[in-house]
A and B are shown apart, each in its own frame.
Chain A
Amino acid sequence: MYNDKYLIPEWRTPSKKAIRTGMGEGLVVSGGEHEDIVVLTADLAESTRVREFAEHYPERFFDVGVAEQNMIGVAAGLSFSGYVPFASSYATFSPGRSWEQIRVSVCLSRANVKIIGSHAGVSSGKNGPSHQGTEDIALMRVLPNMVVLAPADAQQAKAIIEAAYNHEGPVYIRTTRPETPNFTKPLKFEIGKAYKYREGKDISLVACGIQVYDALIVAEELAKEGVECEVINVSSIKPLDEQTILESAKKTGRVVTIEDHQINGGLGSAVAELLGEKLPTKMKRIGIVDRFGLSGEWEDVYKAVGLDRASIKQAVIDYLHE
């Protein structure tokens, strides 16, 4: 029922590691293999976890200072000369503040630039809503030529760097701050593929980021109540693996999306657009419901906005009884 091709055997009791940390490890690995990888940041090397790359390859690391718009333009210029830049900041600042530079200097130009948005979602916690990137998927998904990736754990984040490097063109990679379960096997990451972690017949839980693990646990709990959930990790939000989602929706007839992002414009919207056009299915979007986050320990913030595991489980049950 659980797909052991993707999940580590001890996935129920995993170690924890932040997705941002996995991403940083991936940069060091891929940076060692590919000398054309360069990394930029806007005064956030430590907290976005590109510091380790900077220490390994100082000649290929550039801190542009607190200037996200210029960071993206410089990255585009470097790419036009054959480098493969990864530009890293908080998601609220880049792609938040640098959106128009990404639109024209990167996407319109088909620049081979990779953008890392860290501290995405309200899970970034204490710094409060100005620093919680809850619109980044929407901002990036709408841009032509852009690939949008949201890894579910540190292991996937590590593998995503190599996949982003191998993809010719703009890529957005969403990372998060807290230490969260590291539960997937070290596999090559495939852009455009959704990963089915659990087979079920009653309802499809479609999630991205750290909500994928929550979906697995909620599925485990609901199984005890006789509800068999299918759990799908949509770490590639654009391009979307339409076939996997459609097959699952056809089988279960019920779809719930779960994400730490505004329900408007994010994963839930992407799935709703797909189903609306190709297989109209009643669905429920769990996420940030048209509001800002708030300051606090991230687990407390999750409870406040309804993204803790208990709230997710209750929302799924409510939806099943609608």
Chain B
Amino acid sequence: MRYTGSMSAQDLHKIANQLRGDVLQMVHAAQAGHVAGPLSSADLFSILYFGGVVDPTQDKIVLSCGHYCPIQYAALARAGYFPVEELASFMQIGSRLPGHPERGSVAGIEVSSGPLGQGVSVATGMALAFKMKYGEMSQIKEPRVYCVLSDGELQEGQVWEAFNFAVRRQLDNLIFILDRNKIQIENYVSQLATYGEVVGRLEAFGLNVLETDGNNIDKLKAMIEKAKTMQSAPTMVVANTVGGKGVSFMENKPAWHDQVPTKDELEKALKELNV
């Protein structure tokens, strides 16, 4: 189905679960791909593509954590960028939906990503270009760049290089959304390279930081709307989420970072998601 018009929180929640179901079917059909992140960020993608906060005629959505791509493919398909049936071709030879995003493979894929950190810099360059083209006028009239990144991704040094630059250039047309699901491929984020603390570090770098429950449609949508009003620096919306959100046996388990559901698990999951 296509979605149009004004969406209530209930509608957006329903769409998010449909996107989750799309992701699980894609990964099951491909017998490869990532699960926990796409599911934790489904509410965010529902808001970005169907919530009316992004202006698709001028704004850009950049996915930096490229392994999340099944959720973006699902959102693009459901938003009418390409036929929903094409989702079944995910990762197959000749498909327009490769295992990690490749710029221009379908409309709406703005950046090639996968090696973590790269999309953050590219989004920063896109925001800088908008500043040059539209001048230093208030960001309220200017196109914006929305960049989605993951909390494991914050371990890449390039991300902090980009934050330095974006802050120094006062790119307030740049809104980062951190899908902070607290797991990564090997373990919980707090068990590996850092203790998992993010807000203080991001604030110390000079970003505007807004923290919220990233699996609560109302709260996350309100926070992104608030980010659009922030000035003088890029804003980071820290969206605290649950890895594998929406499927009880996948939630908050690092193993589901990239585990492929069996047929039984897929059926059980789709039932839980009510799709």
User: Which A residues are within 8 Å of any B CB, using their own CB?
Assistant: 38, 59-60, 62, 64-65, 67, 69-70, 72-83, 100-101, 104-105, 108-111
Shortest C-beta distance, B206 to chain A (Å), equals: 14
Is B158 an interface residue when CB atoms closer than 8 A count as contact? Answer: yes
**Closest approach, in angstroms, between the C-beta of A264 and any C-beta of chain B?**
25
Q: A239 to nearest B CB, angstroms?
A: 23
A69/B124 contact (C-beta < 8 A), A83-B129, A105-B112 known? no
* Interface assignment of B88: CB less than 8 Å from any CB of chain A: no
Count of inter-chain pairs, beta carbons less than 8 A: 104
Q: Which parts of B74-107 form the interface with A (CB within 8 Å)? A: 102-104
State A59–B128 Cα separation when bound (angstroms). 12
B132: chain A residues at CB < 8 Å are 38, 59-60, 83
Give me the 3 closest cross-chain CB pairs, A-B, nearest first. Answer: A77-B125, A73-B121, A81-B129
- Would you give the 0/1 interface string for B154-181, flagging 1 where the beta carbon is closer than 8 Å to chain A? 0001100110110011000000000000
- Known contacts A70-B121, A73-B118, A78-B129; A109/B103 CB under 8 A: yes
B115 at interface by CB-CB < 8 Å: yes
Instruction: A108 to B113: give the CA distance in the assembly, Å.
Output: 9
Q: Assess the B115–A104 pair: CB atoms within 8 A.
A: yes
Question: With a CB–CB cut-off of 8 A, which chain B residues contact A67?
Answer: 161, 164-165
A79 — nearest CB in chain B belongs to which residue? B125
Contact yes or no, B124 A77, CB < 8 A:
yes
A82 to B168, CA, bound (A): 23
- Pick from B112, B124, B126, B133: contact of A70, CB below 8 A: B124
Is B73's beta carbon under 8 Å from chain A?
Answer: no
Q: B158–A81 contact, CB under 8 A?
A: no
B120 on the A face (CB < 8 A): yes
Q: Are B164 and A72 in touch, CB under 8 angstroms?
A: no
- Grouping DSSP codes into helix (H, G, I), strand (E, B) and loop, the B interface class, with mixed when no group exceeds half, is helix
> Most chain-B Cβ atoms within 10 A of its Cβ — which of A64, A74, A77, A108?
A77
Evaluate whether A73 and B124 lie within 8 angstroms (CB atoms) in the complex, with A67-B164, A104-B115, A105-B118 already known. Answer: yes
Q: Are B125 and A74 in contact (CB under 8 A)?
A: yes
Query: Nearest chain-B residue to A64 (Cβ)?
Result: B165
Q: Are B112 and A108 in contact (CB under 8 A)?
A: yes
A298 to B118 Cα, complex, angstroms: 36
Tell me the minimal C-beta distance from A58 to chain B in angstroms: 12
Given contacts A73-B120, A105-B112, A108-B112, A78 and B158 within 8 Å (CB-CB): no
Contacts of A111 in B (CB 8 A): 103
Residues of B within 8 Å of A105, CB to CB, are: 111-112, 118, 121-122
Residues from chain A with Cβ under 8 Å of B112 in the complex: 104-105, 108-109
Of the candidates A62, A64, A70, the one having the most CB atoms from chain B within 10 angstroms of its own CB is A70
Instruction: Please report the C-alpha to C-alpha distance between residue A67 and residue B205 in the assembled complex, in whole angstroms.
Output: 15
Question: Does A76 contact B165, Cβ atoms closer than 8 Å?
Answer: no
- B64, chain A: closest CB distance, angstroms: 10
CB distance from B96 to the nearest CB of A (A): 15
> Inside 8 A of A75's CB, which chain B residues have their CB?
125
B103, B115, B122, B164: the one contacting A100 at CB < 8 Å is B115
Decide if B162 touches A81 in the complex (CB within 8 Å): no
Q: From known contacts A105-B111, A108-B112, A109-B111, infer whether A77 and B127 are also in contact, taking CB-CB under 8 Å.
A: yes
Q: Contact check, A108 vs B123: say whether CB atoms are below 8 A apart.
A: no
User: Bound complex: CA of A104 vs CA of B126, how far in Å?
Assistant: 16
Asked if B130 contacts A81 (CB within 8 A), the reply is: yes
Distance (whole angstroms) from the CB of A175 to the closest CB of chain B: 23
CB distance B165 to A74 under 8 Å? yes
29 residue pairs of the A-B complex, CB under 8 angstroms, read: A62-B128, A64-B165, A65-B164, A65-B165, A69-B158, A70-B165, A72-B121, A73-B118, A73-B119, A74-B124, A74-B128, A77-B121, A77-B122, A77-B123, A77-B124, A77-B128, A78-B125, A80-B126, A80-B129, A81-B133, A82-B129, A100-B118, A101-B158, A104-B115, A105-B121, A108-B102, A108-B103, A109-B102, A109-B103
- In whole angstroms, what is the CA distance A38 to B128 when docked? 12
Contact of A77 among B126, B157, B164, B169 (CB under 8 A): B126
- B22 lies within 8 A of chain A by Cβ: no
Report the Cα distance A73→B161, complex, angstroms. Answer: 10
- Report Cα–Cα, A40/B132, bound state, in Å: 14
A218 to chain B, nearest CB (A): 44
Q: B52 near A: Cβ within 8 Å?
A: no
Q: Tell me how far the C-beta of B16 lies from the nearest C-beta in chain A, rounded to whole angstroms.
A: 28
Q: B residues within 8 A CB of A78?
A: 125-126, 128-129
Closest to A80 in B: B126
Nearest CB of A to B30, in Å: 20
Taking CB as reference atom, which chain A residue is nearest B162?
A: A70
Residues of B within 8 A of A76 (CB): 111, 121-122, 125
Residue among A64, A75, A82, A110 with most chain B CB within 10 A = A64
Q: Are A74 and B103 in contact (CB under 8 A)?
A: no
B110 at the binding interface (Cβ < 8 Å)? yes
CB neighbours (8 Å) of B119 from chain A are 73
User: Does B108 touch A at the CB level, under 8 Å?
Assistant: no
A73 close to B103 (CB less than 8 A): no
Chain A residues, Cβ within 8 Å of B125: 73-81
Write the nearest CB–CB distance from A248 to chain B, whole angstroms. 39
Residues of B within 8 A of A109 (CB): 102-104, 111-112
> Across the two chains, which residue of chain A brings its CB closest to B143?
A81
The docked-state distance in angstroms from the alpha carbon of A1 to that of B77 is: 65
B114 contacts partner chain A, Cβ-Cβ < 8 Å: yes
